[in-house]
Structure formats: C-alpha cells, structure tokens
Amino acid sequence: METIPETSASHSKEHVHFAAEQLKDHNLEIHVKQQDGQADIHLGFLQVHHHYTICFCVKDTLGSDVCYDERENLHVDIQRVAPTADGNGHELELNFNAHREKLLNEVIHIQSKDKEQSLKLVLHARVLGKGKGTPALKDGIKCFKVDSDEDSDTHSDWQGF
C-alpha cells in the first residue's frame, strides 16, 4: 500500500491507493473457509456499537433439519437456518452485535437433529471504533440498529460535587 499526498494547496489530507494486485482480494463477498468441522466466516470491517443482520451459506452434511443453542453466544443471535437449494449445506441469517473495537471472533454451533454431527461457525470481524471511518459492508450484511453514544456527556448521570 502506498500513501500519496494530494498536490493541491487547498487540501492537506492524504489518499490511500492500492496496487492492482492487492485489489483482487478486496471484493464485497463474505468469505467462508471450511475445514475439519469448522467454518471461518470473514465479515470484513464493521463499526462498533452497530447491530448487523448477516446472511451467508455453509456447506455441511447435517441433514435438512438442524438445531442450535439460542443462548450459546450473547452477541450472535441465529434468526434462521434453511437448507440450501442444492441440498449441500445451509443458509444462515443471524444478528451480530459489534460490541467492542478491534478483532472480534464469535463462535456458534449448529448440529444435526440427532446431535451426532455438528459444525462450528467462527465469525471474524474487524470492528472500527468511533470516528475511525465508515466501512463498506460486504454483500449479505446490513446494519439494522446503532446503539446510542455511551461516551457522550449528554447521557451522563454525573452531577458533580
């Protein structure tokens, strides 16, 4: 990555430019990498204190009916699990709470109805802090709620001395 300052005298901000070979890996699709009973779902950049609906597909052999523990993860809530059209996996829709900055790795499991097979889903997201920019969301990710600003002085209960 190279940083090129603007040459205009009226602007002092810098622009970031990526080489063409770096851009080929920067698409707007959710990346799902699977191996040995685990699926790593790479969500890209999200924003802190935002709630997202996320839709993606995984390949599995769990059968058409699956189950999961709704209380397994406080920050991920599975909304829907349905077999894919080709019958080789499942489409998931879930709500994701970007509750803190930096790298988030949230884990959930889905399993066959007889509970003999399971798939571990690890959701990876890089969460930007307040004032750090607005990320371009990948396809299948939509923001549905923003928590109020907890750091704002207007929300403080502090009365002073």
- In this predicted model, what pLDDT tens digit does every residue of 144-154 receive, in sequence order? 999 986 554 44
pLDDT at 51 exceeding the cut of 80: yes
pLDDT at 87 exceeding the cut of 70: yes
Nearest to 68 by CA among 90, 43, 41: 90
Q: Give the C-alpha distances (Å, rounded to integers) separating 53 from 46, 73, 95, 117.
A: 12, 15, 5, 26
pLDDT at 16 exceeding the cut of 90: no
Pair 56, 44: CB distance under 8 Å: no
Nearest to 54 by CA among 80, 74, 83: 80
Using one digit for the tens of pLDDT, what is the confidence trace for 90-148? 999 999 999 999 999 999 999 999 989 999 999 999 999 998 988 889 999 999 999 98
Which pTM was predicted? Answer: 0.76
User: Tokens 């499991």 identify what position?
Assistant: 109
Pair 107, 122: CB distance under 8 Å: yes
Banded model confidence at residue 24, pLDDT cuts 50, 70, 90: low
Residue-range domains of the chain with CATH: 28-147 (2.60.40.10)
